[in-house]
């Protein structure tokens, strides 16, 4: 059983930056790909990006490309979502998820992920 805890959310002005962290425990960190999802008020949860078991295998959605970056620190069993140039439309609850998968796979669909964090609120003011 993998536990995921997201931190780093908060209120930020448009154009600002935040870095979300997702600390994983209870499993072998190296066996999992990690994804970030977000859910805005009144909307469905959507995929933001993910990093595979290899740190150099990652992707982000076009809507955040060039502004959001995903990385991980294997030694700390932690995944990061660096968010720059934030916009009001980025306001959402951000979730981290883990999927035990192959070394080259980057899951994009929610049902592929086995474990989820509780989420952290990000609010971007205009």
Q: Taking residues 35-47, what's their average pLDDT? A: 97
Nearest to residue 97, comparing CAs of 28, 42, 51? 51
The predicted pLDDT at position 33 comes to 96
Task: Indicate the pLDDT class of residue 80, thresholds 50, 70 and 90.
Answer: very high
The predicted pLDDT at position 27 comes to 87
Q: Taking residues 99-124, what's their average pLDDT? A: 95
* Percent of the chain clearing pLDDT 70 (strictly above): 100
DSSP 43: S
- Enter the tokens of residue 3: 């536990």
Cα distance between residue 18 and residue 98, in whole Å: 21
Cα distance between residue 71 and residue 21, in whole Å: 10
Find the helix or strand (DSSP H, E) in which 33 lies. strand 32-39
- Cα 68–Cα 28–Cα 81 angle in degrees, nearest 5: 10
Cα distance between residue 6 and residue 13, in whole Å: 21
The predicted pLDDT at position 56 comes to 83
Asked if 72 contacts 33 with a C-beta cutoff of 8 angstroms, the reply is: no
Q: Is 29 helix (H, G, I), strand (E, B) or coil?
A: helix
């Amino acid at each position: 059983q993998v536990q995921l805890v997201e931190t780093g959310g908060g209120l930020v002005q448009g154009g600002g930056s935040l870095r979300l962290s997702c600390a994983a425990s209870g499993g072998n960190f190296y066996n999992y790909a990690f994804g970030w999802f977000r859910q805005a008020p009144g909307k469905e949860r959507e995929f933001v990006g993910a990093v595979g078991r290899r740190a150099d295998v990652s992707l982000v959605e076009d809507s955040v490309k060039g502004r959001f970056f995903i990385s991980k620190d294997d030694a700390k069993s932690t995944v990061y979502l660096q968010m720059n140039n934030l916009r009001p439309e980025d306001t959402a609850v951000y979730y981290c998820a883990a999927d035990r998968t192959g070394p080259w796979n980057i899951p994009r669909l929610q049902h592929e992920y086995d474990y989820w964090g509780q989420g952290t609120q990000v609010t971007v003011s205009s």
